[in-house]
């Protein structure tokens, strides 16, 4: 097995794993974690997707949700609980009612803009 490490300026992580055997090969690209390339011997290369047809899965979340989806929410809930317990002294500020209202105002303006053929709408 050969390992290669390179610096590719302007590229993201670029983690790729290839397993090549005598009956076929698989290839995984970290930038597209819901996809796996499968090349059975003597057949065209196939793109398999998480939750797609023909894929048997034992996963915690259904197809369409990226890897890390549950972990992101777990982190958010953990940090929120720390704020409630008083263990977080402003390191992770949470939105307040005013922030929520501003967000709703933004959404209303976006909907209005869409209804007016993309016109600018004051917030």
Answering whether pTM is above 0.85, one says no
Q: What is the pLDDT of residue 55?
A: 67
Domain ranges of the chain: 1-68, 89-123
| pLDDT, tens only, 84-101 | 888 876 666 677 889 899
Closest CA relative to residue 96, chosen from 86, 111, 83, 113 = 83
The top-level CATH class assigned to 1-68 is alpha beta
| Percent above pLDDT 90 for the chain | 36
pLDDT category at 10 given cuts 50, 70, 90 is confident
Q: What is the pLDDT of residue 5?
A: 55
Site of tokens 């303006």 = 109
| For residues 108-116, average pLDDT | 94
- Copy the structure tokens of residue 27: 């290839």
Q: How many CB atoms lie within 10 A of CB 10?
A: 4
**Torsion angles phi and psi, residue 3, rounded to 5:** -115, 135
Closest CA relative to residue 48, chosen from 70, 24, 72, 73 = 24
């Amino acid at each position: 097995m050969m390992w290669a490490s390179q610096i590719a300026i302007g590229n993201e992580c670029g983690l790729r794993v290839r397993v090549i055997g005598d009956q076929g090969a698989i290839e995984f690209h970290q930038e597209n974690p819901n996809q796996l390339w499968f090349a059975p011997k003597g057949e065209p290369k196939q793109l398999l997707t998480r939750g797609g047809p023909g894929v048997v899965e034992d996963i915690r979340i259904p197809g369409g949700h990226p890897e890390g989806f549950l972990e992101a929410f777990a982190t958010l809930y953990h940090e929120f609980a720390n704020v409630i317990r008083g263990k977080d002294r402003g390191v992770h500020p949470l939105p307040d009612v005013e922030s929520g209202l501003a967000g709703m105002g933004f959404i209303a303006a976006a909907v209005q803009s869409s209804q007016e053929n993309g016109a600018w709408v004051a917030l």
